Amino acid sequence: MLTKTHDVIIIGAGSVGVPTALFCSKLGLKTLVLEALPSVAQGDNKHAIGGIRATHSQRAKIWTSLRSIEIFSSWKEKFGDEIDWEQGGYIFLASREREKKVLQNTVIEQKNYGLNIDYVNSDKIGSLVPGINKDYIIGGTYSPEDGHASPLLALNAFYRKAIEYGTEFKFREEVGKITNNKNDLISIQTSKGKYQAQYVVNATGARAREIGNMFDLDIPVFPESHEAGITEPVKSFFSTMVVDITPKEDKIFGDSKSYYFYQTKEGQIIFCITPDPPIHGIDKSETSKFLPQISKRLINLLPRLSNIKVRRTWRGLYPMTPDGNPIIGKTAIKGFINAVGLCGQGFMLGPGLGEIIAKLLYNENKLTSREKAILEDFSLNRDFTQEEKLK
């Protein structure tokens, strides 16, 4: 069997794999993407709701997302593709003093790392989201430069540009075995062929540990599932992503942590919730409790949604890490690179991370001090006990 050699092989054509391929090829690296599914964005990228924020409490996430926002916001102007980018901002709500204190403290950190954000009162929030229940909220943070885009349109735009730069994509190819060669190349055996490269990038989302185990490398990524839904379109009345971080007890349908929602350009409301306790595993079956669980919270916060019709719901996987931050960069295995553990934020972090990974592989000396700090913060060898506050 003929073995084909590349500079870089990326396993996974999702939120991180595709933009990484784009930037690798742009730098002139001979790049191959292997994907077990029929096309790009068919894993958990298609379950993403499209939010793109730099409103994090950890510096590397903030810096990475700020770069991603630059890429998303300028894409149509530069390349002509419509990706439904809308800079509606993000609101994190406080309904109790406990949440107010958390948000006010994180604003200080966020400003220090370059985020345009302020703590605002309920009147400001009411002007951004008409009809919101101001008796429930006491304030929140507002970051106007955050936004949202279509995961499907964006990933396919990145895919077409990656092909234009020279990336080769192979679909329906399941990775079966990965081995090191004596000539410092890594070999990959798939269901259809054999390939080798100087670098292999693990961008497999929920399968991250499985791929790492092929090198006896323990990668602490543990999938958990979240449900989301979308309504019929109605007349646009807000575009800001609203995040309620107050936990809610519900003895009938189950407890939850945060939930979040926004209105698309076409007028639909997209919404998602974080269950408590988390639902671990890879089951993507929809549940009967999700809609009543989130409906009560949504209608209490925004009563005008009470008569809107829900079109469909779905359930996707968040590849979580112990501290809520990604695992990115080199490993103890020469040439084996991690791009995993995005914790449900792969869509917003993917472009910024893809650019850094490409530079790491092309010429590590060209990394900026900020990019080196990002890789240090996201290293597999870091201390995982410092949990990200707004994960």
pLDDT digits (tens, 9 = 90+) for 32-46: 999 999 999 898 888
- How many whole angstroms separate alpha carbon 40 and alpha carbon 240? 28
On whether the CB atoms of residues 308 and 194 are closer than 8 A, the answer is no
pLDDT at 2 over 60: no
pLDDT at 390 over 90: no
pLDDT reported for residue 141: 98
The region that residue 316 occupies, defined by phi over 0 for left and psi between -120 and 50 for alpha, beta otherwise, is beta
- How many whole angstroms separate alpha carbon 234 and alpha carbon 54? 28
Mean pLDDT in residue range 71-97: 97
Confidence of residue 3 (pLDDT cuts 50, 70, 90): low
CA separation, residue 27 to residues 23, 164, 165, 350, 391 (Å)? 6, 13, 9, 17, 32
pLDDT at 318 over 80: yes
pLDDT reported for residue 1: 46
Q: Give residue for tokens 């396993």.
A: 11
Residues in contact with 28: Cβ distance below 8 Å, sequence separation at least 6, in sequence order: 362
Q: CATH classification of 3-50+152-221+323-377 is 3.50.50.60, yes or no?
A: yes
- 286 class by beta-carbon count within 10 Å (0-12 exposed, 13-18 middle, 19+ buried): middle
Could you tell me the residue ranges of all domains in the chain? 3-50+152-221+323-377, 88-145+223-318
Mean pLDDT in residue range 213-234: 96
- What is the H or E stretch that residue 107 is in? helix 97-112
- 239 class by beta-carbon count within 10 Å (0-12 exposed, 13-18 middle, 19+ buried): middle
- How many whole angstroms separate alpha carbon 277 and alpha carbon 61? 24
pLDDT reported for residue 272: 97
CA separation, residue 59 to residues 52, 103, 113, 300, 346 (Å)? 16, 15, 6, 33, 16
What size, in residues, is the chain?
391
- How many whole angstroms separate alpha carbon 135 and alpha carbon 122? 9
88-145+223-318 in CATH: which number? 3.30.9.10
Q: If you average pLDDT over every residue of the chain, what do you get?
A: 95
Tokens of 176: 């079966």
pLDDT reported for residue 218: 94
Mean pLDDT in residue range 249-269: 96
Q: Would you give the DSSP letter of residue 315?
A: E
Residues in contact with 49: Cβ distance below 8 Å, sequence separation at least 6, in sequence order: 148, 228, 260, 262, 270, 271, 272
pLDDT reported for residue 275: 94
- How many whole angstroms separate alpha carbon 202 and alpha carbon 328? 9
Q: Would you give the DSSP letter of residue 365?
A: G
pLDDT digits (tens, 9 = 90+) for 126-166: 999 999 999 999 999 999 999 999 999 999 999 999 999 99
Confidence of residue 384 (pLDDT cuts 50, 70, 90): very high
- How many whole angstroms separate alpha carbon 237 and alpha carbon 124? 15
CA separation, residue 320 to residues 64, 90, 152, 343, 346 (Å)? 18, 22, 22, 4, 11
On whether the CB atoms of residues 378 and 61 are closer than 8 A, the answer is no
pLDDT digits (tens, 9 = 90+) for 187-198: 999 989 999 999
On whether the CB atoms of residues 342 and 326 are closer than 8 A, the answer is yes
- 38 class by beta-carbon count within 10 Å (0-12 exposed, 13-18 middle, 19+ buried): exposed
pLDDT digits (tens, 9 = 90+) for 283-297: 999 999 999 999 999
- How many whole angstroms separate alpha carbon 77 and alpha carbon 245? 35
Percent of the chain's residues with pLDDT above 70: 99
Nearest CA to 47 out of 230, 246, 296 is that of 230
- How many whole angstroms separate alpha carbon 67 and alpha carbon 81? 19
Report the SS3 class of residue 46: helix
pLDDT at 209 over 70: yes
pLDDT at 72 over 60: yes
Handedness of CA 64, 65, 69, 71 (dihedral sign): positive
Tokens of 132: 């919101």
pLDDT reported for residue 213: 94
Nearest CA to 48 out of 355, 390, 349, 356 is that of 349
pTM to 2 decimals?
0.96
